[in-house]
Structure 1
Amino acid sequence: MDVHRLGLLLDLSRLGSMREVADTRGLSTSAVSQQLATLAREAGTALVEPVGRRVRLTPAGRRLAEHAVTILAAVEAARLDLDPDAAPVGTVRVGGFATGVRRTLLPAMAALAEAHPGVEVVVHEYEPLETVALLEADDLDLGLSYDYGLAPVSWPATLRAVPLWRTPWGLGVPATELERHPAADARDLARWADRAWVVNSRNTADADVVRALGAMAGFTPRLAHSIDSLDLVEDLVVAQDCVALLPLDRPTGPGVRVLPLAEDAAVLQAWAVTRRGRDAWPPLRVLLEALRATSADAAA
């Protein structure tokens, strides 16, 4: 049923005459009558019956007018929800990697709660491959993902990725190694060729970067351990005397040191990823704006 015609029926139930509906809507009485006749055909039952020179709603017409209140209110709510100029209201489903959530999403959520209290953000932790799959399945509205200069992501055509921030990663080594060899340097990566490496358990980019770094240094890294949590990566570096890529700007435990690589060889790029065309939706738009602001603050 056409919602415009439902509106005319609702007006008739409230105003009581075709003439008053016509005057209110700026239409002719015959136009109102024709629209209501079409609505009756759509509904499959008579909605209006004559009473002298006037008309009144049939029992079916009254019931449909009652439904029209709810239907028209829902249509208006949907219009406001989707209107780019409307106040943002709704729930945004976000999935992303832990560092991205901690570094930019949590501050953005705090700012959003104050500026746009009608927007709710629900968060799930995922690694980049998981995030991309969920975005393509339309099970997320926003993904926080990352890649490296040595292992860039080829984004699916259905997705749009906006850069947020960059940070260099270095080589995490046991602190005892530097106590024994104070001059140890990760710029000569071949020095660590005999060590076992720890890589990410749920994202192939980390292993791809380690292999690329090893190839440039003339050796094939031995990828022995697959760990997701950076804290657990540190524990394994200490316990097993192995090495791993870790962020240079992240504080580590006392048993681990992070050494710079040659010319920032491993740089992580964080991305905000959405389905194409979705970023105009008001709740998602204001969250993206808040993410860009917090990313700029983090980089300052």
Structure 2
Amino acid sequence: MNPDIRASGRHRHVKGPDDGGHRRRLAPSGVSQRSPMRLRHHKSRHLNARHCRTRHSTRRCVGVFGDAKQCGVDFRRLELLVDLARLESMRAVAEVHGLANSTVSQQIAALAREVGVPIIEPNGRLVRLTPAGRCLVGHAVEILALVEAARRDSDPLAEPAGRVRVGGFAVGIRVSLLPILANLAESNAALQVVINEYAPAESLALLIDNALDLALIYDFALSPIVLPPTLQAKPLWSTLWGLGVSSDASGTRADLRDFADQPWIVSSGTSTDENVVRTLASVVGFTPVIGHRIECRDLVEDLIIAGHGVALLPMSRSARRGLKILPIRGPIVEFTTYAVWRRGAIGGALRRILDQLAPEGAAVAHLDHWPRRT
């Protein structure tokens, strides 16, 4: 989404498009060819370690860090380095870990000695990662994920148990999570699912901070969310959106140029659907007039029926009297929901939930009915 939702979460206590609702594009596991993921990894220089994964740069990284067998690295220091790349501040890392600034600085310096190359450098009154430091961050993410996975899988025969904290937007919870709760309770009595309603930005921030175990988020193909490399995702279902207009509007497909002078209704909580509206308008050559910013989908429909504007709405949401939702001529407006978790954090309980949310090898489902508030 542009502006991108980044790892720190740009919004707190915001809602997205649904019912009163809330606010994709990851490069997760299990991507279906039918509905390819568009979510890109974080493009920040601090989080982007993809340059380490090309053939030439991988050779360069190996040359920088030497033989891994000769290099004993403290995992705790790798955690501090990953958080420094994400938070871009020694002070912020210290606050997250409950340490003194000097302690974080000493641990990062010790890590540099362990790997044998400088990994940070002065940047005014702050510091920044060196190219070797950014390369190490990419490897650190993979190493820490493997360590966490090994820890969680130390007893593979154990029955899934404990609390799984799930955060997500309302429609995602209704469509994906609620239908599997009864089966989970019946088959795993010791497993407790704790549900919290959050916008995608807030869910991702809490997931990164280890305050959630699983996030249900969404985005539009035309306004993708950006994920940091510490998170992993899998698509659950998708649906197409169209243009909500009053029932007296002519035609069976929406040519957006016919609505160039209409007030457009967008979300007040995030910029996602506004970005989509502006992208669609730019394709056909006009600048939309944003007339209203509304969270509740029912109120959006009320305004459309009363002739106060038009808005993007899910095609699978049943239209009320006085309203119709037209397919749009031009780029497809696709909305996709994802399950997101921390890399390496799939223990028995979370794995059981993910297996039911999206069985291995299953295609990305198409949502035929968008639920309404009752």
* TMscore range, shorter length: 0.5 to 0.7
8 Å CA contact 2:238, 2:364 repeated in 1? no
Listed as ranges, the matches of 1:37-48 within 5 Å are none
Q: RMSD value over aligned CA atoms?
A: 2.4
8 Å CA contact 1:81, 1:88 repeated in 2? no
Rate the CA distance shift 1:214–1:118 in 2: closer, same or farther, 3 A: same
Rate the CA distance shift 1:133–1:297 in 2: closer, same or farther, 3 A: closer
Deviation readout 1:195-223 (Å, 9 max, x if unpaired): 11111222221111111001011111112
The equivalent residue for 1:10 is none
The equivalent residue for 1:234 is 301
2:306 and 2:154 mapped to 1: Cα distance?
A: 54
The equivalent residue for 2:276 is 209
Q: Which amino acid aligns with 2:333?
A: A
TM value normalised by structure 1? 0.66
The equivalent residue for 1:63 is none
Instruction: For residue 107 of structure 1, report the CA deviation from its aligned partner.
Output: 0.7
Identity of aligned residues (%): 46
Listed as ranges, the matches of 1:52-131 within 5 Å are 83-131=155-203
Gaps of 5+ in 1: 1-78
Which one of the candidate residues 353, 358, 364 is aligned to 1:287? 353
Q: SS of the residue aligned with 2:226?
A: coil
1:220 aligns with 2:292: no
Give the number of aligned pairs.
216
8 Å CA contact 1:89, 1:119 repeated in 2? yes
Q: Which amino acid aligns with 2:355?
A: E
8 Å CA contact 2:236, 2:358 repeated in 1? yes
Rate the CA distance shift 1:126–1:263 in 2: closer, same or farther, 3 A: same
Which protein has the bigger helix share? 1
Rate the CA distance shift 1:257–1:250 in 2: closer, same or farther, 3 A: same
Which one of the candidate residues 198, 202, 205 is aligned to 2:265? 198
2:328 and 2:154 mapped to 1: Cα distance?
A: 47
1:132 and 1:208 mapped to 2: Cα distance?
A: 20
Q: SS of the residue aligned with 2:224?
A: coil
The equivalent residue for 1:26 is none
1:252 and 1:202 mapped to 2: Cα distance?
A: 23
Instruction: For residue 114 of structure 1, report the CA deviation from its aligned partner.
Output: 2.1
1:185 aligns with 2:253: yes
Which one of the candidate residues 208, 224, 227 is aligned to 1:155? 227
8 Å CA contact 1:129, 1:203 repeated in 2? no
Q: SS of the residue aligned with 1:262?
A: coil
Deviation readout 1:75-134 (Å, 9 max, x if unpaired): xxxx99973431111111111111111111111222212222221111111121121111
8 Å CA contact 1:81, 1:90 repeated in 2? no
Q: Which amino acid aligns with 1:146?
A: Y
The equivalent residue for 1:272 is 339
Instruction: For residue 244 of structure 1, report the CA deviation from its aligned partner.
Output: 0.8
2:344 and 2:268 mapped to 1: Cα distance?
A: 32
Q: SS of the residue aligned with 2:335?
A: strand
The equivalent residue for 2:211 is 139
Q: Which amino acid aligns with 1:288?
A: L
8 Å CA contact 1:100, 1:144 repeated in 2? yes
Higher relative contact order (CA 8 A, sep 6+): 2
Return structure 1 stretches of 4+ with deviation > 6 angstroms: 79-82
Q: Which amino acid aligns with 2:315?
A: L
1:210 and 1:93 mapped to 2: Cα distance?
A: 34
Q: SS of the residue aligned with 1:278?
A: coil
2:187 and 2:364 mapped to 1: Cα distance?
A: 17
Deviation readout 1:234-262 (Å, 9 max, x if unpaired): 12222353111111111132232110112
